[in-house]
Amino acid sequence: SFEIKVISVQARKSVGGQFFNEKAPDGASFITVKFQYKNITGKPVSKSVKVDKLVDPSGTKYDEATGASIHYRTEQRFNKKILSDINPGITVTDGEVFEVANDLWKNKGWKLILDTDDDDVEISIP
Which pLDDT tens digit goes with each residue over 15-26? 998 888 999 999
The whole-chain average pLDDT of the chain stands at 93
Residue range 72-100: average pLDDT? Answer: 91
pLDDT at residue 117 above 80?
no
At 49 the pLDDT is 87
Neighbours of 35 (CB within 10 A): 22
Residue range 39-51: average pLDDT? Answer: 90
Cα 98 to Cα 41: distance, rounded to the nearest angstrom: 30
pLDDT at residue 35 above 70?
yes
Cα 45 to Cα 105: distance, rounded to the nearest angstrom: 35
